[in-house]
Copies of this chain bind each other. A is one copy, B any other.
Amino acid sequence: MTLKAIGIVRNGIKQPPKQGWGEVVSEIVVNSSLAQALDGLEEFSHIIVLYWMHQVTAGGQLPTKVHPMGKQELPPVGLFATRSPNRPNPVGKATVRLLERQGNILRVVGLDAIDGTPVIDIKPYLPGYDSVANAKVPLWITNQ
């Protein structure tokens, strides 16, 4: 199972910003050979971006348990119960607002990926399929 980059993130950001990614505007520069494959995407207000977290390095054995959000005061939980980037397949998934599409370039808000991140897929966000009403989460999420 081999992935190929379909594009790259451009936002000039080299480190995750302390204030979060909420307001960060990024460009997704899609390979120009795939520009036409974006036709119609501009009719969606939001898109799902799958990307390869290329700068995540486990530095040896991957932990099976981690402190949620790196907070030492929280009891460790299983890696798959968190969104830690440090996972067996470092694939990130973000739902972001699409501001504009020009040819092979998408301008988006809130993509939590640093400059140079390879993009592996772009999907339209479908409310009925991608969202859940009244989903239950543990207290360490609701209390954060």
A positions within 8 Å CB-CB of B: 1-6, 30, 34, 36-41, 43-46, 48, 50, 52, 54, 64-65, 77-83, 87-89, 91, 93, 95, 97, 118, 120-127, 129-132, 135-138, 141
- Interface SS of chain A: helix, strand, loop or mixed? mixed
**B77 & A39 in contact (Cβ 8 Å cutoff):** yes
**B93 & A65 in contact (Cβ 8 Å cutoff):** no
**B81 & A43 in contact (Cβ 8 Å cutoff):** yes
**B2 & A95 in contact (Cβ 8 Å cutoff):** no
**B37 & A120 in contact (Cβ 8 Å cutoff):** no
User: Are A118 and B1 also in contact (CB < 8 A) when A50-B93, A135-B127, A137-B127 are?
Assistant: yes
Residues of B within 8 A of A141 (CB): 124, 126
Q: How far is the CB of A105 from chain B (nearest CB, A)?
A: 13
Add 11 more A-B contacts to A46-B135, A131-B132 (CB < 8 A).
Answer: A1-B2, A1-B118, A3-B91, A4-B88, A37-B79, A38-B78, A46-B136, A50-B91, A83-B124, A91-B91, A124-B137
Q: How far is the CB of A79 from chain B (nearest CB, A)?
A: 4
**A6 & B89 in contact (Cβ 8 Å cutoff):** yes
Residue of A3, A78, A138 contacting most chain B CB atoms (<10 Å): A78
